[in-house]
Structure 1
Amino acid sequence: MEPIDLTRRIEPGMPVYPGDPGVSAESSATMQSDGYRVTHLSFTTHVGTHIDAPAHMEPEGSTLDEYDVGDFRFDARLVDLTGERGDGGLDAREPIEPGTLPDGTPDADMLVLRTGWGDHWGDDRYFDHPYLTPGAARHVADLDCAVGLDTINPDPTPTERAGDDEPAGTPAHHELLGAGAFIVENLDLTADLPERFTLRAYPLRVDGDGAPVRAVAERSSRAD
């Protein structure tokens, strides 16, 4: 298996969480004026394909700099929800319940959930993704797994199309991060991936609540 890049490109105009500042890229030095190029980039710690550290939501949660680099290498199991009901996948803003996720020992330390919502990257529909119920997030945490998603949020993202019956706030984040489980969001899962693979999601080395990652899938030693 050749390495597969699961990372969204960071660029101006890309989707960001509603209310967050967008990405900007401005030249601070140019070849014409200075003989070299330097670009000033501005974005949040939760832009594009990124990892959430517990400090993102938990007052006493760990920041990224408290982990060893090896902690960002995951034995991943792909959970493909796109044909869950046999009718082409999940609906907009559909809750993902515990019963749709693996039970027992998953023989993995990350569950990568393919909802199919990555197909909507770049349009407004992307923000009306399926989401984990608090019970489903608790189930993942009880399995001692991190979670990766092809959505911008494991919780419902606020839009004008939000339903009155959706969970308020960020309960899925709290269930996962409160248990010390990483969350990797905005994965590009459109490639043909095996059920088992190694995911390398190395963040920028910052003492922060999260950071963009270069997410790469590689062959897993457990695949055979």
Structure 2
Amino acid sequence: MFKLYDISSVIRPQMQVWKDLEHNRPVFETVRSHDSGETHETRISLDAHTGTHLDAPLHMLPGGEKIEAIPLGDLIGPARVLDLTGAEDGITRQDLEPFAIQPGEWILLKTKNSYTDEWRDDFIYVKQDGAEYLAGLGIKGVGVDGLGIERSQEGYPTHRTLMRSGVLILEGLRLKEVSGGSYFFVLAPLKLEGIEAAPARAFLMGS
């Protein structure tokens, strides 16, 4: 019997958002309610990069593919959670090499980011040499438990290195309750069109 792990962020007004900026917070507005004898309905204002979200190449590459161009078949399959909770500052090639990463895998990086729901300026990210290493391995995608895979580095080398090699980027995972190891992975971004990202539900199946 397999166990199901929901590794998605909960979307709520007071959730962790990029740089803790108020304008990045989701807004839930009640537009109808039972108090007025009507049905209950809510309008949501949401940044495409809220919580757990999948980036499309357009996010960083002029003329890059939009979110609807990413094949659904690339969003399911074998994944490995790599326990990097001992990493400080950023994840490097040296941190990744011992895991013998294989082509076709989704690689999900569990760090100490998963142990806080508060924004931290010093969140763990993937350094450029780590991105270059992953880009050469033929993986399907890489997921991180920070709201960004890099800390606004000049030129965004981590994003761009991965995207130019066809590696998908998933940000905002919650991996605290998941042990390192192999799983079956399912990622379901919202079916949006014409933009550079989409919030997503992500889960793992394992023993």
Could you say whether these structures have the same fold, taking a TM-score greater than 0.5 normalized by the shorter chain as the test? yes
Q: 1:111 corresponds to which residue?
A: 107
Moved more, 103-112 or 6-15: 103-112
Residue 194 of structure 2 corresponds to residue 199 of structure 1: no
CA deviation vs aligned residue, 1:38-96 (integer Å, no higher than 9, x gap): 101111110001111111111121112113322211321111111xxxxxx233xx121
Moved more, 34-43 or 95-104: 95-104
Identity of aligned residues (%): 28
Which one of 145, 167, 178 corresponds to residue 164 of structure 2?
Answer: 178
Are the equivalent residues in 2 in contact too, given 1:7–1:188 (CA < 8 A)?
yes
TM-score by length of 2: 0.89
Equivalent position SS for 1:3: strand
Which one of 150, 168, 172 corresponds to residue 155 of structure 1?
Answer: 150
* 1:19-30 superposed matches below 5 A: 21-30=24-33
Residue 147 (structure 1) shift: 0.5
The CA distance in 2 between the partners of 1:34 and 1:68, in whole Å, is 44
Which one of 60, 71, 74 corresponds to residue 71 of structure 1?
Answer: 74
The CA distance in 1 between the partners of 2:5 and 2:101, in whole Å, is 26
Give structure 1 stretches of 5+ with no counterpart: 83-88, 158-166
- Report how many residues are paired: 201
Residue 198 of structure 2 corresponds to residue 211 of structure 1: yes
The CA distance in 2 between the partners of 1:154 and 1:143, in whole Å, is 18
Residue 64 of structure 2 corresponds to residue 61 of structure 1: yes
Dislocated runs of 4+, deviation >6 Å: none
Q: 2:122 corresponds to which residue?
A: 128
Structure 1 counterpart of 2:73, one-letter code: G
Are the equivalent residues in 2 in contact too, given 1:77–1:108 (CA < 8 A)?
no
Structure with more of its chain in strand, by fraction: 2
Q: CA RMSD in A?
A: 1.9
Which one of 65, 84, 87 corresponds to residue 90 of structure 1?
Answer: 87
TM-score by length of 1: 0.82
CA distance change for structure 1 residues 211 and 49 in 2, over 3 Å: closer, same or farther? same
